Structures are given as structure tokens and as C-alpha cells.
Structure 1
């Protein structure tokens, strides 16, 4: 398994992986396949080219099987932090420590950029992700009740924080 930063040239591969996620795990992200259908790989190119955004990919041979993104705030007073977004490992590759490897790669890159802490949010019903975050040292920092409504059912959003320095 190769974990590496994603770059501009990875946009098409990343876009295809994101669409696959929305097909195989519709609840994995807050957006839906229908919402994403009007977009193109240019969305990924824009994110990959953004100076405040970092993407990391997990590759099995040449296939992108997982990704993680963190975004650093623009404001100087908040640049010691970053927020993790878009963590995903494809269904056929789960349970092999790939998400952990993605996080460890992101932690190393964030430290190299003098980022002192990371935050993330996750749906309260995602027990596997919450277990991973706790095992990595993330601390639960709050809950937003009824943050998401899916199929008439509310789900809370749980916030996590970790110190890197």
C-alpha cells in the first residue's frame, strides 16, 4: 500500500473515487450522488491546487482505494489548526489499517507545516470511524444534536480534536 500526497494530475482519479464512494456508501458524505452529478473533476483540481488544502491517497497498485483531506484556515490566527474532511476507504479495502495509514501520513505532513492540532466531525452512528479516531488519540470535543436528517431520521454530529505539538 502506497500512501502519498495527491496532486493536480490526480484529479480525475480522485473524482472517480469520490463518485464511487457516493455510489457504494451514500451515507459516507453529506453530499449525494445526485448533488455531485452536476460537478466535474475540475472541482477536485481546484481543491488539489488550493494552497490551504492537502489530500492524501492510498494506492493498491495503481488504484486509489482511500483518501483523506485536511484544510488549513486562511486567517493567520487559526493557521496553527486544520480540519480533516473527506476520509474514506473503499469497501473492499476496509479493515486493513488503510485509514490509519492515511491519518499517520496526514499527521506527519501537518506537523511539517507547523499545524499544532487537527479537528474533524463524524456522524454519531459511524462506530467504526469513531473507534479509529479514539485509537489515534482524538478527543471528543462536542456534539451537535440532530445535525443531519436522512430519510426522516436525525443523526448527531460528533466533533473530535487532537494535539500534534
Structure 2
């Protein structure tokens, strides 16, 4: 089934002023389908910190059902290591889409914006990790050119069962 695009989706780098909205989006989309950490509980940790800086995130804004422009999703894009020999790689370390915006192309738009941003930073390769049972995310990543490059079987124990950690990657060459 084709996705219904959100009209219009605005993609931009995150700003410090997005912290509250990003924290709320992160908490509202928490699920063992993608999260290996416990469900966040009050008092909530700040969304941004020394390792999660606003400049590491791309955000999507769109009109919700009430016609209000608000945060529809985000992705975090960072070098996987601080090593110079790994500087040509960027890694997606988080992608979330608000429930009201799902199935409307927001995640795909964020991925494509991440590819463009990574190329602009000189990267020629992108990687990510996804839980083996997260079929919707894996299908999206595969449709955008990612392939499975490794699997850590039973790496996480979630909801009473062992779940694989799947490593995926793709070239950013045109």
C-alpha cells in the first residue's frame, strides 16, 4: 500500500528549543519493538546531553489532525566512533515518528535527509542497528537500500524472550 505523504513536511536540524517536544515524542513512541532500555519514568532525563546534542538530530514538522504544525519525527545521525579511520561512516542511532504521522512518509523523508546530510559531511557509508523483531523498520530500511551485514543472535532479553540485534548498512555513493 503506498504511503500517504504528509503535506507539507518540513525537515530541519533540531534546535535546543525542541528539547521538550523531542522528549515527549520519544516517551510517547517508546516500545519494546525498538527500545532496549526500560520505559522512561518521571522525573524524566533531559533529551539533550553531552552525547545527544541538538546538532546530531534532524526533525520533521508537519500538520497534525488538528491542523497544528508540530514535531512529527526525528532521527539521530552521528559518527559511529571518534576514530579518524571511521570518519567516512555515519550511523543512525534513533528514529521515531509520532503515532499521528505514521504511514505518511515521515520516516522515509528523515532517512533521505540523513543520507543527504551525511554525504554533505563527506560520509560515503551509513549504518544502523535494529531489533530483529522490528519488521516494519527493517522493511523500511531495506526499501531504502540497507542490507543486513551482521546479526548478534539473542543479544537482548525483552518481554521474556531473546531478540536479535541486526546490523544493517548501505553505501551513500550516488
> Which range, TM-score by smaller chain?
0.7 to 0.9
Query: Which residue does the alignment assign to 2:57?
Result: 55
Gaps of 5+ in 2: 1-8, 64-68
Query: Which residue does the alignment assign to 1:69?
Result: 76
Distance 2:56 2:76 in 1: 6
CA RMSD of aligned residues (A): 1.8
Match of 1:15 among 17, 23, 47: 23
Query: Which residue does the alignment assign to 1:85?
Result: 93
Larger helix proportion of the pair: 1
Distance 1:122 1:99 in 2: 14
**Number of equivalent positions:** 158
Query: Which residue does the alignment assign to 2:39?
Result: 33
Alignment of 1:137-156 (within 5 A): 137-156=145-164
Q: Which structure 1 residue ranges, 4+ long, deviate > 2 Å from structure 2? A: 25-28, 36-41
Deviations, residues 17-75 of structure 1 (Å, cap 9, x unaligned): 112222xx3543222224x645432x4154225xxx62111112431121110111321
Distance 1:59 1:138 in 2: 25
Gaps of 5+ in 1: none
Higher relative contact order (CA 8 A, sep 6+): 2
Alpha-carbon shift at residue 92 of structure 1 (Å): 2.1
Q: What's the TM-score once normalised by structure 1's chain length?
A: 0.87
Q: What's the TM-score once normalised by structure 2's chain length?
A: 0.83
